[in-house]
Structure 1
Amino acid sequence: MKITDVKAICTAPDGIRLVIVKVETDEPGLYGLGCATFTQRPLAVVTAIEEYLKPFLVGRDPAAIEDIWQASFVSSYWRSGPVLNNAMGGVDSALWDIKGKQFGVPVYQLFGGKSRVAADVYVHANGSDVREVEDNARAYLEQGFRHVRAQIEVTGYSTYGVGSSQSVPSTNPKPSESARLKVEEKAWEPRPYCLLVPRLFEHLRNTLGDEVELLHDVHERVPPIMAIQLAKELEPYRLFFLEDMFAPEDNEYLRMVRAQTAVPIAIGELYVNVHEYVPLIRDRLLDFIRVHISDIGGLTPARKLSALCEYFGVRTAFHGPGDTSPVGHAAQLQLDLSVPNFGIQEAHLFGERTREVFPGCPEIRDGAMWSNEQPGFGIDIDESLAAKYPFPEHPYNGAWPEIRRRDGTVVKP
């Protein structure tokens, strides 16, 4: 069997830029799908797939997954980075999908079979005040979810993880006059946020009780020393985890967190290089690894990472928002079901149009994600329907919006 074609499929049925890799073979009807979504730089990934990986891979045996990954990794000489990793990750996952279909089993069977019947997920509850967050969290609990990430709007500031916030005067520069669409600029300040979040979790723990698992995402937005103080203040509310306190360049601060608090730490969605996360795992400086699977190169390195984490007491909690496509979620589920050190899976509740484009989209019920038990990843793509949802217009072609402090300073991530 040989690879005959490798192509990128771009679609945005729910307005989020998704990139899917399709690897075709010379066996009639046998192909695989992988997620290569880097929604802030999707066209760069498409170029890497179609102009560089395709000519490198056509004619190779799709069964040689490890060899293809290693050869692709060094083929650019300089390696790692989100563009190349996503391109490789999409291809790699597609090859696993092919192998599962070839043997007529879900991919998790190729990884040693199930360690659990389904993968627990967490959902996102947000609101403009503590009561609205509580109400949204309760609505999820009534649907059977047990893990809830809670985010709250900081009135007057641009706040991560909430639907909207008011604009305040600042010295933010205006968007370029040449931009095709205007982007509203909103200021951000860390102190009001750090004062509000502990009050949110005090309220949620008092009103929702101890049965619900609560999570929160800092999203690297505050100075590291303030993040450490925040972690200490949140410890009494027994979070399931506190996510992304620091950007990758601030990893050394994790040692200070470990010395001062027992709050569980989840980190890693910005990691693209093994040198960023292997030392943290080795030194037991995190509790949940949060990598975006296609950003580290696909299922092949993610399997190795999961095995490494097992030996150091670190659980998996792979990145899974709306810019992880349904194909990406289906691929992650194969690891979630098989690895013994699974922790939690981030859920995204895909809309009806996305489910139409991706038949076999993973099912979420009873607070968990379930396999449909079909061969491979159990998911497909309707290419003609996908073509009806091109990338939406955006002034910077999908770039992450810049967030600035009141004095104009750019803040992370």
Structure 2
Amino acid sequence: MKIKEINVYVCSPGRNFVTVKVITEEGIYGLGDATLNGREMAVVSYLQEHVAPCLIGRNAHDIEDIWQYLYKGVYWRKGPVNMAAIAAIDMALWDIKGKAAGLPVYQLLGGKSRQAVTLYAHASGENVEDTLDKTEDLIKQGFKAIRLQSAVPGLNVTYGVLGDKKDYYELQGNRPLPPEEPWSTQKYFNMIEELFSKARARFGNDVHLLHDVHSRLTPIESAKLGKLLEPYNLMFLEDASIAENQDSYKIIRHHTTTPLAIGETYNTIWDCKDLIQNQLIDYLRAAATHAGGITALRRMADFASIYNVKTAPHGAPDLSPICFAAHMHLNIWAPNFGIQEFVGLGNEQSKSIFKQSIEVKQGMAYVSDAPGLGIEFDEEAAKEFPYKRSYLPVSRLEDGTVWNW
């Protein structure tokens, strides 16, 4: 089954998405997500100029060989642009193989390990009480795991809390350059324990609570936070600190028993190898789009399982519904799956472009038995929402120092 054509589409139904369509000579096609938020066109150029020409005429069934060819064959390995491109091709090839076999991708991976995928939703408020009210709404919808984020008093913007703005894009107005946001660790610490102490008092211990620090803290500050939150029994503390130096997590691990999760910016297994094998984390949050696709994430999940690390794939709105579909197949298969981040199935604009068959009820996602990934892409509808240059924010300390966003 030879590859005949590879097309790349960029659309912006609220967020920019890069979609890859691999078409075979038999007419069977597959879809992949190559979105790299804020650097979308770098991946588009890489795919069109450097990847697609190398794959025309190759056997679409040779998923592993093509993955290795794109990873090892470039000499310049890893990196977000390279791995997002590989990921999109890889997803599309798994989609093709599933359609050719008449089977959903999870069956090709080995079948189900569970009947449904547990999700965690986001409760983000302008203050602690607002966050708790939104948490209550999500509990009523059936969610049993919820990430709590609250605005920090004294800071005009806080990660995860957009107030009256619908999206980070709106922070940029008519001048599409990165917005800048202030950060104060001291002001954050003044708020954070109140959020979780009141959450436990109001909702008890039956609901799983999570929190995303988004790498704002140094390792010793993260250790302090983890210890502070131990009485509130978090499911996990996400991205407590940057782990470019993976040994940094030894400091956090040695001071707290709060479970730790990281990985949404990781591109390969090498980014998390030491964290996993030294058992410094409990959940791996790598995303299929950013970490090399289904082939790579399956390998990472298998490696993590040896060390009792669970998977909890990234699920931000800057990953397209195609990536979410890929995660669903991985999640329903992976014996060490933990939980899936969930921000909804897209807005109405997105739903007009990406036709998916995933059902969500009572905080669980049910994967379709449609062949392949079970998702379709409407090229004509996508044309109605052209690409808009945009960026995620930049963070600065109150003295002006550039910090981790």
Q: Distance in 2 between matches of 1:211 and 1:356?
A: 37
Q: Which residue matches 1:363?
A: 359
Query: Is residue 237 of structure 1 aligned with residue 241 of structure 2?
Result: no
Whether the aligned pair in 2 keeps the contact of 1:100 and 1:377 (CA below 8 Å) is: yes
Q: Distance in 2 between matches of 1:156 and 1:310?
A: 42
Query: Is residue 409 of structure 1 aligned with residue 401 of structure 2?
Result: yes
Q: Which residue matches 2:241?
A: 246
Aligned with 2:255 (options 257, 260, 265):
260
Q: 1:259 to 1:56 in 2, by over 3 A?
A: same
Q: Which residue matches 2:168?
A: none
Q: 1:184 to 1:83 in 2, by over 3 A?
A: closer
Equivalent position amino acid for 1:276 in 2? D
Per the TM alignment, residue 408 of structure 1 is displaced from its structure 2 partner at its CA by 0.8
Q: Distance in 2 between matches of 1:188 and 1:83?
A: 28
Equivalent position amino acid for 1:104 in 2? G
Q: Distance in 1 between matches of 2:142 and 2:256?
A: 31
Q: Distance in 1 between matches of 2:264 and 2:29?
A: 29
The SS at the match of 2:4 is strand
Whether the aligned pair in 1 keeps the contact of 2:219 and 2:249 (CA below 8 Å) is: no
Q: Distance in 1 between matches of 2:50 and 2:285?
A: 29
Equivalent positions of 1:29-40 (< 5 A) are 30-40=28-38
Equivalent position amino acid for 1:62 in 2? A
CA RMSD after TM alignment:
1.8
Q: Distance in 1 between matches of 2:279 and 2:252?
A: 12
Percent identical pairs in the alignment equals 40
Per the TM alignment, residue 363 of structure 1 is displaced from its structure 2 partner at its CA by 2.6
The SS at the match of 1:126 is strand
Q: Distance in 2 between matches of 1:262 and 1:293?
A: 28
Query: Is residue 213 of structure 1 aligned with residue 211 of structure 2?
Result: no
Per the TM alignment, residue 361 of structure 1 is displaced from its structure 2 partner at its CA by 5.0
Query: Is residue 161 of structure 1 aligned with residue 126 of structure 2?
Result: no
Any gaps of 5 or more consecutive residues in structure 1? 167-174
The SS at the match of 1:123 is strand
Q: Name the count of aligned residue pairs.
A: 397
Whether the aligned pair in 2 keeps the contact of 1:92 and 1:299 (CA below 8 Å) is: yes
* Offset from partner CA, 1:45-67 (integer Å, 9 cap, x none): 00111111100100000000000
Equivalent position amino acid for 2:350 in 1? T
Equivalent position amino acid for 2:397 in 1? R
TM-score by length of 1: 0.93
Equivalent position amino acid for 1:136 in 2? K
Q: Distance in 1 between matches of 2:289 and 2:49?
A: 19
Q: Which residue matches 1:304?
A: 299
Q: Which residue matches 2:124?
A: 126
Aligned with 1:382 (options 374, 378, 383):
378
Q: Which residue matches 2:5?
A: 5
* Offset from partner CA, 1:221-279 (integer Å, 9 cap, x none): 12222111011101110001000011132421211222221101101112123322011
* Offset from partner CA, 1:309-361 (integer Å, 9 cap, x none): 11110000000111111000001110100011110001121112211211125
Per the TM alignment, residue 183 of structure 1 is displaced from its structure 2 partner at its CA by 6.3
Q: Which residue matches 1:340?
A: 335
Q: Which residue matches 1:88?
A: 86
Q: Which residue matches 1:373?
A: 369
Equivalent position amino acid for 2:158 in 1? T
Per the TM alignment, residue 181 of structure 1 is displaced from its structure 2 partner at its CA by 4.5
Per the TM alignment, residue 398 of structure 1 is displaced from its structure 2 partner at its CA by 2.4
Aligned with 2:390 (options 398, 404, 407):
398
- The range that moved more, 264-273 or 331-340, is 264-273
Q: Distance in 1 between matches of 2:326 and 2:101?
A: 17
Q: Which residue matches 1:279?
A: 274
Equivalent position amino acid for 2:201 in 1? N
- The range that moved more, 186-195 or 286-295, is 186-195
Q: Distance in 1 between matches of 2:207 and 2:4?
A: 49
Equivalent positions of 1:98-137 (< 5 A) are 98-137=96-135
Q: Distance in 2 between matches of 1:200 and 1:180?
A: 35
